[in-house]
Structure 1
Amino acid sequence: MSTYNLESVEEMAGGDQDFLKVVVQTFIEEIPPDLEAMNEAVAADNAGMAYQYAHKMKPNLQMFGLELMPQIKVIEEWSKSGTAKAEVEEAAGIISNKVRAAESELKKDFEL
C-alpha cells in the first residue's frame, strides 16, 4: 500500500504523463526543505515560522493524498492558541515520517 495517492495530481494532469512527472519532481525538490525548516522552527519554539512552512506545504500534502491535515492543523493552531509543545512535536513527527516515506516511494515509482 502506497503512502501517497496521485488521484488529484492525475486529474490535474489530464493524462499528461510529462506534466505528472514534473509535479512529482517539484514535490520531491520543494517539500523536504520546507519540512526541514518546519521541524527546525518547531525545535526552536518558533510557532510563527512553523505555521508558515506547515501552511505552505498544505496544498501539496493534500494534492498527494497524504492525509496530514489534522497534524498540519495542530501546527497552525500552535501559533494562534499555544497548543502544547508535545502535541506539536508529535504532529511534526507524523508529518515528517509520512512525507519522507512518500518522497522515497515517489523517487522509486517515478525513477527520479
Structure 2
Amino acid sequence: MSKGYSLKNVNELSGGDDEFIAVLVQTFLEEIPPDVDSMVQAVNSNNPQMAYQYAHKMKPNFQLFDIDLLKQIKQIEAWSKTNKSKEEIMPALDHIVNVVNNVLEDLKTDYK
C-alpha cells in the first residue's frame, strides 16, 4: 500500500540527517492536526479569511512531505475571495481532512 507522503524533499532539505528528519516529522505531527481542525472550524463557521490563513500556512508542509493536496488547498484559498457558500468548498475540505488523517497515521506508524 502506498503512503500518502514522501520524504524525498525532507531528505534533500535535511541532507540525510536522521535526527533532523525526525524533528521535521514530529513538528508535522504536532502542528498539522490543530491547523486542520482550525481550518475545518473556519469553514464550518463560514469564515473564509480564517480558512485561507490556515490553508496557506499548511501548504509548505504539504509540499515538503509531498502530500498531494495543492489543488484542494488552492480551492480553499480561492473560496476566501468569492461569495460562494461553504457547501461548495466542503468536498475539497473533506478530501484534505481524509488525506491528512491517513498521512498522520502513516507517519505515526513509520516514526514511533
Matched, 1:37 2:38: yes
Matched, 1:89 2:87: no
TM-score, structure 1 as length reference: 0.95
8 A contact 2:9–2:65 mirrored in 1: yes
Unaligned runs of 5+ in 1: none
Unaligned runs of 5+ in 2: none
Q: Sequence identity of aligned pairs in percent? A: 50
SS at match of 1:105: helix
8 A contact 1:74–1:83 mirrored in 2: no
Structural RMSD (CA): 0.9
Q: How many residues align?
A: 111
* 1:65-104 aligned within 5 A: 65-104=66-105
Post-superposition shift, 1:53?
0.3
Distance 2:84 2:15 in 1: 40
Matched, 1:58 2:59: yes
TM-score, structure 2 as length reference: 0.95
Post-superposition shift, 1:67?
1.0
Post-superposition shift, 1:87?
3.0
